[in-house]
């Protein structure tokens, strides 16, 4: 049986807006196994984005426990969370979030620079781009690439540090249907080859069908989890 790369227990998140408290998460409990492909769905205001931010170590819960790859990250400070993000989490965003004036190679190499890795950075970035089918586009800048190619660069960047999880937020949202299907097939293929846990946050049921399990969140609570 595979180990849980993510273990969440009774997670809450409360935002204070003046004298008003907004309960974004209300006692969420969730386990995600190593190598699992899972989608998280929910309408606007459901707590989906809050859960995603906590899973990605961009925010801390108000209470509860979050164990990521064997480490309790629930109460880490901002610097500690930044280190964990760099080591354990690869992000793929709807808007790609690439540096427009830098080459594909430089964009992919950036997380290694942040991690303080000096040796073979460019060779590792080159290999990562080859793994997503962009070995002949390493010196192109994002404006010179199609949307699908830009998302491939973002995926290569997400994988460069061999993270415990890939967190993809609407990864096909800015792509046409053909490019979106290609990106999903690429993500699934990389999951199969490298065993990286893949968490996809989406509103699109067609994208959720690519995943082995879908978790629905409403009003800060998980309402349904199906395989």
The domains found in the chain, sorted by start residue, are 36-46+77-226 (3.40.50.300)
| Predicted TM-score of the model (pTM) | 0.91
State percent of the chain over pLDDT 90: 76
Residue 205 buriedness (CB in 10 A; 0-12 / 13-18 / 19+): exposed
Q: What is the pLDDT of residue 1?
A: 64
Per-residue pLDDT of 27-77, as tens digits, reads 999 999 999 999 999 988 899 999 999 999 999 999 999 999 999 999 999
Over residues 127-144, the mean pLDDT reads: 95
Please, how many CA atoms are within 13 Å of residue 153, restricted to the half-sphere of its CB?
30
In angstroms, rounded to a whole number, what is the distance separating the alpha carbons of residues 22 and 113? 38
Q: What is the pLDDT of residue 227?
A: 59
Check whether 118 has a pLDDT greater than 90: no
Confidence class for position 223, pLDDT limits 50, 70, 90:
confident
């Amino acid at each position: 049986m595979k180990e849980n790369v993510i273990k969440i227990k009774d997670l809450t998140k409360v935002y204070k807006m003046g004298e008003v408290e907004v309960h974004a998460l209300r006692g969420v409990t969730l386990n995600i196994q190593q190598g699992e492909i899972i989608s998280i769905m929910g309408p606007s205001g459901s707590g989906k984005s809050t859960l995603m931010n906590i899973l990605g170590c961009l925010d801390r819960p108000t209470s509860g426990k979050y164990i990521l790859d064997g480490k309790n990250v629930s109460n880490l400070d901002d610097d500690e969370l930044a280190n964990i993000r760099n080591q354990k989490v690869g992000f793929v965003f709807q808007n790609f979030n690439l540096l427009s004036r830098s080459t594909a190679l430089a964009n992919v190499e950036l997380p290694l620079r942040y991690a303080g890795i000096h040796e073979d950075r460019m060779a590792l970035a080159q290999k990562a781009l080859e793994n997503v089918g962009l070995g002949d586009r390493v010196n192109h800048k994002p404006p010179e690439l199609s949307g699908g190619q830009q998302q491939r660069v973002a995926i290569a960047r997400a994988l460069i540090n061999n993270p415990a999880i890939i967190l993809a937020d609407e990864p096909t949202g800015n792509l046409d249907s053909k490019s979106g299907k290609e990106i999903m097939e690429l993500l699934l293929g990389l999951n199969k080859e490298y065993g990286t846990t893949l968490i996809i946050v989406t509103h699109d049921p067609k994208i959720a069908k690519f995943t082995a399990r879908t978790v629905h969140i409403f009003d800060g609570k998980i309402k349904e989890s199906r395989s």
